[in-house]
Amino acid sequence: MAKSWIDDAWLRDAVDRDGNRIPPTAAMRRAAGADPEKAKKTIPPEHRTARYGKGSRWVVYWNAPDGRRRKAFRSRADAEAFRAGMEDDLRSGRYIDPRGGERTVADAYREWIGTLVNIKESTAAGYESAYRTTIGPKWAGTPLGAIDRSMVTAWVRDLLDGNAPGPLKGPLAASTVTQRLFVLTMILDHAVRMRLIPANPASGIRVRATPSTRVRYLTADQIRRTADAAETLVSPHGRRIGSRRDRTMILLLAYTGMRAAGPRVRPARVPSSRSWACLLMFRTRLCVRPRRRAE
């Protein structure tokens, strides 16, 4: 069976009394192309279709992997060019469904998420959350074929700046944006594998790192005053909780570069003098490294 062929939607073969098929003559085809209304008087009714003179005349049919498809053209030259490219794609395995680009990102997401197997529930939940909060609000109704690289880049910039649509308000961290972009890239990769689009417009896009906050260093005098305050620290209830040990600890951390490990603790849960001293340092958000005096 032929993989593709061209059909004339205006003219057809006539059948005589003996059942023989009589194709339209070349003169009939030329006349129909030059002036369909005028040629209607000279072309016998048995050679004219119900669509004669209406819409695009030349229709390319082809047998796609998922069934027969068609596409109409006004000129035979355009139809021939399309058919030649289609035949080449079908033979080489590069065939892309011309209507695949009309499918939306939401369609591709539903198909892609259904193909994921042997992944943790937490991973699947993360993908679903990323789609629901950032990807879906922007791309759900967008046709796959309408997405280009500049659109994805602009979306990434909007996420970083806090201007992207969705329930998440404010700028997102670069790591969060990277994860969202990763999910969108996988969805579009699935569309490429399904031959809905020829290439992934999100492939290769990198998220710029968020500029780091300038580190502020304490002077020797600020370190001394912080240590003194820790020694005389008083709780909100008026009870003294600071001690000389806390003062020594702050000086040790400041002048040796040692850092406290482990998660932050809340004084209400761990009412110890050490937790209050640690909280004091963490709340300042300052690097307790003494600044050298200029010699």
- The mean pLDDT values, 10 residues at a time, for the chain of 295 residues are 82 90 93 92 92 93 80 92 83 73 92 90 93 96 94 95 91 93 96 88 86 72 89 85 87 78 44 47 43 42
Compute φ and ψ for 293, nearest 5 degrees. -80, 145
What angle, 0 to 180 degrees and rounded to 10, lies between the N-to-C axes of helices 121-130 and 174-193?
Answer: 100
Question: Maximum CA pair distance of the chain?
Answer: 117
pLDDT at 2: 54
Joined tokens for residue 197 = 């689009």
pLDDT at 176: 93
As separate numbers, helices (DSSP H) first and strands (DSSP E) second, the chain gives 11, 5
pLDDT at 267: 42
pLDDT at 65: 67
pLDDT at 279: 46
pLDDT at 53: 92
Give the domain ranges of the chain.
Answer: 4-95, 105-193, 220-284
What is the Cα gyration radius of the chain? 36
